[in-house]
Amino acid sequence: MKRTLWFIWMLAATVFFAGCSSSKKSLQRGDYYAAAMEAIKQLRSSPNSKKQQEVLLEAYPLLKENSLRKIKNATDMNAPDKYCIAADEYIALNKIADEIYACPKALQLIPRPDQYSRQLGDILPLATTEAYQLGEKNLNLKTIQGGRDAHHYFVKVNEYTPGFRDVNEKIAMALDMATFKVIVQKPITPQRYQLSSDFFYNNLMAQISKTANNSYVRFFTEEEARNVRLTQPDHYLVLDFADFSVGTLHETKNTVEVKRDSVMVGTTVVNGKNQNVYGTVKAELTTFRREVISEGVLSAKIINASNDRIEQHRNIPGKFTWFNEWASYKGDERALTDAQKKRTNTEPIMPPPQQDLFIEFTKPIFDQAVRFVNGFYSNYK
């Protein structure tokens, strides 16, 4: 019970001090919004925390001053996205005010947080139109970066005024333009292994697509590319089991003499009494081992679709050894250990089907291939 209470106390202390550190660090690096939000969150569960009170009292005025300064600077400079800047800052200030009102201790420290509902109401229509126009301007560039900037602005439009004009259609168009498209070619293997090769490929596609989710990289199977009429991808990822062997058999046999001392080997009569006789027992133990080795190399090439240049090439090895051991003996069974006796009761078995062996040797390849692909495309996201 004491250990449980100690663990709970330590966990609570860890969470508490992590919260203190988080809000303080945000304040020190000038992220006043994050500092204030974290301080309010901590004050809900620990209203007497002096550190969180100090952070909130310092962060909130700085946040308000910094937000209003950004709005003024954007207006004075006639920045192309001045209304978006103003809307974002007013939204942040109103969000902080709502959080303060929802936290008794924070409201005690800052009794009347400023709210900018009227200013936000005035600026939102202007920010919506501005963001829409900036989105269209970037969309017309017809470049990946233009698509990403357009996507950013159209998402803002939908946040400011949900369903504005054809914004949902424009978001989809911008996302398509922003996305780096990669067709992943399936490895072709002999027919008897194709099912296992397809299993590897399908799992790899699922994993890299999941990792790339919510990013600007999309991986297509060749079938998916045909279905969406993707004729101009950015890259091809070409997979090929360039060198592999499945089911290479090795069998070994090893015979040793085993013995055990102080084993009762009989009885004798001494002075008219039966006495046990102890001695050494021996046996000849033969151990058999059957190994089936499957190994191969996956060649993974990333090829630029516009000029056929190989951007990256990696050979990824994998190996799997299946084995079966059994034994036989001649002589006295009592010379054997329990493990040796158990092995003599084991029958030789057949190795798994070759399809299964193929899957096994590709398992270590799979993780390396995922890291290779994700590592390369992390710069494209």
Q: 306-339 pLDDT, tens per residue?
A: 999 999 999 999 999 999 999 999 999 898 999 9
32 and 104 together in one domain: yes
Residues pairing with 263 in the sheet: 279
**Tokens 């398992």, located at residue:** 363
Model confidence pLDDT, tens digit, residues 235-278 = 999 999 988 899 889 999 999 999 988 878 777 777 778 888 78
Paired tokens of 22: 């988080």
- Domain membership flag for residue 5: no
158 and 207 together in one domain: no
- Which residue segment(s) compose the domain that 224 sits in? 191-380
- Domain membership flag for residue 17: no
Model confidence pLDDT, tens digit, residues 214-230 = 689 999 999 999 999 99
- How far apart (Å, rounded) are the C-alpha atoms in residues 252 and 12? 58
96 and 231 together in one domain: no
- Domain membership flag for residue 123: yes
Contact indicator for 300, 373 with CB cutoff of 8 Å:
yes
232 and 174 together in one domain: no
- Domain membership flag for residue 184: no
By DSSP bridging, strand 180-185 and strand 273-304 are: unpaired
113 and 51 together in one domain: yes
240 and 366 together in one domain: yes
Contact indicator for 47, 69 with CB cutoff of 8 Å:
no
- Domain membership flag for residue 312: yes
- Domain membership flag for residue 10: no
Paired tokens of 259: 């013995």
Domain ends where: 126, 152, 178?
178
Domain ends where: 131, 157, 178?
178
226 and 326 together in one domain: yes
106 and 196 together in one domain: no
223 and 249 together in one domain: yes
Residues pairing with 287 in the sheet: 254, 327
Residue 304 has what DSSP assignment?
E
252 and 303 together in one domain: yes
pTM of the model: 0.73
Read out DSSP for 152-196? HHHHHHHHHSTT-TTHHHHHHHHHHHH-EEEEEEPPP--HHHHHH
Average pLDDT over residues 268-290: 86
Domain count for the chain: 2
- Domain membership flag for residue 69: yes
Domain ends where: 131, 153, 178?
178
Residue 13 pLDDT grade (very low, low, confident, very high; cuts 50, 70, 90) = very low
199 and 172 together in one domain: no
Residues pairing with 316 in the sheet: 298
Per-residue pLDDT for 5 more than 70? Answer: no
Angle (CA) 109 112 117, round 5°: 135
Question: Amino acid identity of 82?
Answer: K
159 and 230 together in one domain: no
pLDDT of res. 10: 47
- Domain membership flag for residue 183: no
Average pLDDT over residues 58-69: 96
